A and B are shown apart, each in its own frame.
Chain A
Amino acid sequence: MNHVLDQKDFSGLFSENLKFDYEYDPASQILRLDAEHLPELFALLAMDERLAMDYLRDLTAKEQPEGEFHVVYNWVSIEHHHTLMVVAKVPESMEVLSATQYWESANWMEREVWDMFGIRFAGHPDLRRIYLEETVSFFPLRKSFRTLPVENVRDLGGSERELAKARAKAAKAEKEPAGDK
């Protein structure tokens, strides 16, 4: 769901200009596509006078339960008063096109996504980690990252109770084979 300002239907415009598979829902203003088609989309959003998405308000990523990554863009057109959310599926190579060539605001947001998710942006002028040190070897917001592998540092994903349960289970599993002997 997306808070929509001026309810506009871009279905015709997209079907006319986007020559690849995509899903578009005018009610929620969400466009879903594969990330390799982003170059055509960026050009359309930035250059088309009817869209004129001049303000990239947010860029982030998310990991799906099945392990694939999505990059999520939120555009608004200050000129025409409409919004669009784009969810782009990241390919196996973990590299998508940078939006910095059209929107300068993507610069820091893409660095953040690289820092947190390890998704590379092709054509980014300065892709370095922004929050963490350059030597860090993990990407914190990936679901596979649970905690620093140091004893006593609390698990990030679960509550205390879940942790205690897991520990009890592990202790039991250790004991049982010993009992069999």
Chain B
Amino acid sequence: MGLIDGHNLDAPAGSMPGLALTSIDWVINVARRNSLWPLTMGLACCAIEMICASAARYDISRFGMEVFRPSPRQADVMIVAGTVTYKMAARVKRIYEQMPEPKYVISMGSCSNSGGIHADSYSVLRGIDKILPVDVYVPGCPPRPEALLHGLMTLQKKIDRQTLRRNKPNYIFENRREGEITPLPPEAAVEIEAARLMGIDLS
């Protein structure tokens, strides 16, 4: 953001109006990152800490993220908080697909990062990143509300770097480049096969 001829936007009325120059990316990113609307995807214990983060003491609204939407169609970021079982994973994936672009995923807690304490279970997905692209991982079992806030701020930094220019690496619609689908990690095949044995189609 810059000034021309020493004039600024706060100039008193009647004097020459100021001009500010900046990139359109900056303006769009400021607007986007300061009102991230999360989708409530509270699955287990971490959901309680997510609710605590939105309550009186931690006050998530300081960062413009207090508008928890129950509908995926109004949300920007999905906070996957808790253990994802195969049975729920299919639903999580479907809800993610219903969110409008650009969309982000925060994986909150050990269970959704990697399966955590339940990683040896027959019914738990070992990490939500096997089926969705994850932007920020928040470690902890469960993470404290401060950790979630830090995760959201990390996401803000990521959004700050994004651009509308199609040929740049930080393109906003990275997930939806034409003809490209985000590749799933190699372990995903194992999880999809395990889910199939549990009667769930994750592919």
Binding site for B on A (CB under 8 A): 131-137, 140, 145, 147-156
Contacts and interface: CB of A to CB of B under 8 A. Distances in A.
Interface of B: 87, 119-123, 187, 190, 193-194, 197-200
Contact of B119 (A134, A140, A145, A154): A154
Contacts of A136: 197-199
Nearest to B187: A152
Contacts of B121: 156
Contacts of B194: 148, 150, 153
Contacts of A131: 123
27 contacts: A131-B123, A132-B87, A132-B123, A132-B199, A133-B87, A133-B198, A133-B200, A134-B199, A136-B197, A136-B198, A137-B197, A140-B123, A147-B122, A148-B122, A148-B197, A149-B197, A150-B194, A151-B190, A152-B187, A152-B190, A153-B122, A153-B190, A153-B194, A154-B119, A155-B120, A156-B120, A156-B121
Q: Is the interface of A mostly helix, strand, loop or mixed?
A: loop
A156 B190 contact: no
For the complex of A and B, the 10 pairs showing the least CB-CB separation, nearest first, are A133-B199, A135-B199, A154-B120, A150-B194, A152-B190, A150-B193, A148-B194, A136-B199, A148-B197, A148-B122
Nearest to B126: A153
A136 B199 CA distance: 6
A150 B200 contact: no
Contacts of B199: 132-136
A151 B193 CA distance: 9
Nearest to B193: A150
A156 B187 contact: no
A150 B190 contact: yes
A137 B197 CA distance: 8
A140 B122 contact: yes
B119 to A, nearest CB: 7
A156 B122 contact: yes
A135 B87 CA distance: 12
Contacts of A135: 199
Contacts of B119: 154
